[in-house]
Structure 1
Amino acid sequence: MTQALAPAYDVGAARRWAMLAASTLAQAATAVMIHGPAFLIPALHATGLSLAEAGLVAAAPTVGVMLTLVAWGAVADRRGERFALLTGLAATAAAGLGAALSDGTALLAVTLFLAGAAAASTNAAGGRVVVGWFPAGRRGLAMGIRQMAQPAGVGIAAISIAVVADRSGPHAAIWVPTIACALAAVVVALVVVDPPRPARTDPAATANPYRRDSYLARIHGVSVLLVVPQFLVWTFALVWLVQERDWSPAAAGAVVAVAQVAGALGRIAVGHLSDVVGGRMRPLRWVSVAAAITMALLGLAAAADLAIAVLLVVVATLVTVADNGLAFTAVAERAGPFWSGRALGVQNTAQFLAASAVPPVAGLAVTHAGYAATFALAALFPLVAVPLVPVREERELA
């Protein structure tokens, strides 16, 4: 396993774990800002917007994120992780304040777009803080913990924003992520210190890692392929349970919530496994194989209308999200301290673009072929990913 980001040991273990907690808090707070507006759709629809118009408002922060991930990565590479985190969180809180105080739908959409653009800062900078301070034998576990932030943020948003929006309106609900980002900025200011870096005069440290070999590009490709079954299950599991198995929305929602918790815990477990085996790519290949098998079994069980299909949905949710922390850790380790921000930005941008295409394309597939066939077809994507995982190249770099 590459040691491109060797940690310094002039901070104690308690401080490292405190910085992990701060990074996780920052990621969770911005996740509420990015994904929370989706839970405004019912309230926005009640104000007279069509579902399509409400959906555009809800998508505004996601668009902002996609457009600025690489730029924020460049800021972290140039100015440091602490600067990027503080600037991004402060700007996110300011844009959130503007959204909460805005008058009208158009201004709400614009300010949410700006909030998402600022919130992208935590994706690149927060990951580098974890990888930069933790020793190689703990990075997988640490990054797995940090990657819990996204499902945690979605869960917090589902519980809080929907309730506040229903009671007090969509603008009032934006106070939730705004306050969360402001508090996260304070914690980051108190706790986070930039990881050490070699001198910029070192050509090996500043060289473009994409020109060395295809290692990073292959990880990006694998991650994009694994996004397809992940977002297929995330998007359509609840609808499938309600429409195909006649479950109530409440019961289906409970299963989805349990699956999200399982997925979050799975990220930690797989991260720790990568520390134990001394590499990220072998577990990433195992996850790819498991995702292909699980999605194929889910398709067969759904076609046969077997009760075990419900359990397989939970397993599929767990397996298809387990790669995220592994890929993030490997990208940051390989890219090095002067390129990890941009590399993680590319990683996230590719995943966001692929994820945005899944719902409409999968919707067409479900319409014409049914849920069972769509689940089974999704198994092809992780199957293609298996030989692309650069296991041998990681061994050569170690």
Structure 2
Amino acid sequence: MNKSAAPTPGDTGRKRWLMLGLGVAAQAVACVFVYGVPYLVPELRSTEHLSLAQAGVVISAPTIGLMAALVAWGAAADRYGERVVLGLGLALSTLILFAGLMVHGLVLLWVVFFLAGAAGASVYAASGRVVMGWFSAKERGLAMGVRQTSTPLGMGVAALAIPPLAAGNGISAALLFTAVLTGVVGLAVAIWVVDPPRPAKPTADGAATKPPSPYRSPVLWRVHGASALLVWPQFTVGAFGLLYLVDVQHWSVTDAGRLMAVGQLAGALGRIAVGKWSDRVGSRLRPMRQLALVNGVLMLLMALCALWPSWAADVVLIAACGLAASTNGLSFTSTAEIAGPHWAGRALGVQNTGQNLTASLTPPLAGELIVVGGYAAGFGLAAVFSLAAVFATPSAHRAETPRPDPAPAPLKT
């Protein structure tokens, strides 16, 4: 296909689902690495002779690299296009992971994992952008909901593959698996991803100009803030739901893990359903506000169940797992739509940075609160964050102005 020619409507109809599939695959393989590294802790301690604290430093490196590079990759996607950023980022990730097969020790492993996380940040910045560009406003909620299932998919692959590979053949086997997976998806991206059409805004002399920054108004900052607030209850439930079932509800670890897996499945399906709902009502922010309120109520119920345990807590926990992450797709979709195609990459980079920062802070801070005040205090604080997000989310009529999709402009070569 000639990359310099704009796709016809028929091309768009045929290709948008391929672009969605490639975006999901790219994000999923990035998650396999980021969420698979913690499963290397036993081998880091036994074969690399690291203390638990040192192993913790190593497994934090991918997330630090991710946050350090997100905005830069987003700016690159705005300027050079999604295909270049996705292909380059995955290629760099593959090479860095292969280099990791030959290094040992705290410092070198930290550097490799940091660089691999930074390279993988390209996927977080550009995969959502390519999905947004290929789907019309009537389907973007559904498309981004499907794209958001890449996180639990990647986490599931990591949980199934990394522990046995590392236990049986060492850290190198786990890194080799991740490198091959990343390389295969990177090759597919390089071959098949096509940059979505971008609108051109003509000036008086006929040249295209870039629209002003969307950050001149507080709307995008409020969306970023609300989504970061909603990450806290999501990671509170994800990090401590299993322990709550064991400590308070007296489940076995195996049965508690199975129930949490059901909750994660509900969460993946919830993202798709919520995205479709937002398409039907023609708004991302109104459902986001309503779900923030529901999440707040569920967290309050979890706090009450921690004080007065009963069978109802199991039902509430499943509902909380299903809905706590359901706003992610809405916040990403609204961010890209409000920012517009010329600023979406950077805006999605900022969005991802805020969410990952909150995700990094939640387990240690919420864990300390639970140690001091019990599970009721931990879930209670999560309720406060959810309810705060209701007020932080901008009103739909102020942030969302329905408009027709722009006519395609010629794609960059």
Query: TM bucket by the smaller chain?
Result: over 0.9
Structure with higher helix content: 1
> How far is 1:392 from its partner?
2.5
Residue identity opposite 2:324 in structure 1: T
> How far is 1:30 from its partner?
0.6
> How far is 1:139 from its partner?
0.5
- Which residue pairs with 1:65 in the alignment? 66
> How far is 1:101 from its partner?
2.9
- Which residue pairs with 1:22 in the alignment? 22
1:341 aligns with 2:345: yes
> How far is 1:253 from its partner?
1.5
For residues 94-144 of structure 1, what are the alpha-carbon distances to aligned partners after superposition, in whole Å with 9 as ceiling and x for unaligned? 111111232334322211111000000011111111110101101100000
Residue identity opposite 1:164 in structure 2: L
Task: Pick the aligned partner of 1:394 from 386, 396, 399.
Answer: 399
Map 1:198-347 to 2 at 5 A. 198-199=199-200, 205-211=210-216, 213-347=217-351
CA contact (8 A) 1:85 1:185 kept: yes
Q: Which moved more, 1:42-51 or 1:70-79?
A: 42-51
CA contact (8 A) 2:145 2:272 kept: yes
Secondary structure of the 1:29 match is helix
For residues 227-255 of structure 1, what are the alpha-carbon distances to aligned partners after superposition, in whole Å with 9 as ceiling and x for unaligned? 11011111111122223333222222112
CA contact (8 A) 2:54 2:106 kept: no
* TM-score computed with the length of structure 2 as normaliser: 0.91
Residue identity opposite 1:209 in structure 2: P
Paired with 1:168 and 1:15, the residues of 2 have a C-alpha distance of 40
Paired with 1:104 and 1:55, the residues of 2 have a C-alpha distance of 13
Structure 2, unmatched stretches of 5+, are 1-6, 404-413
The alignment covers a number of residue pairs equal to 391
> How far is 1:170 from its partner?
1.6
- Which residue pairs with 1:3 in the alignment? none
Q: Which moved more, 1:266-275 or 1:51-60?
A: 51-60
> How far is 1:57 from its partner?
1.2
Residue identity opposite 1:134 in structure 2: F
- Which residue pairs with 2:116 in the alignment? 115
CA contact (8 A) 2:201 2:209 kept: no
Secondary structure of the 2:100 match is helix
- Which residue pairs with 2:39 in the alignment? 39
Give RMSD over aligned pairs: 1.7
Measured at CA, do residues 235 and 8 of structure 1 come closer, stay the same or move farther in structure 2, by a change above 3 Å? farther
* TM-score computed with the length of structure 1 as normaliser: 0.94
CA contact (8 A) 1:35 1:62 kept: no
> How far is 1:204 from its partner?
7.1
Paired with 1:275 and 1:8, the residues of 2 have a C-alpha distance of 24
> How far is 1:12 from its partner?
3.8
- Which residue pairs with 1:4 in the alignment? none
- Which residue pairs with 2:83 in the alignment? 82
Aligned residues with identical type, % of pairs = 47
> How far is 1:8 from its partner?
7.0
Paired with 1:74 and 1:285, the residues of 2 have a C-alpha distance of 29
> How far is 1:42 from its partner?
1.9
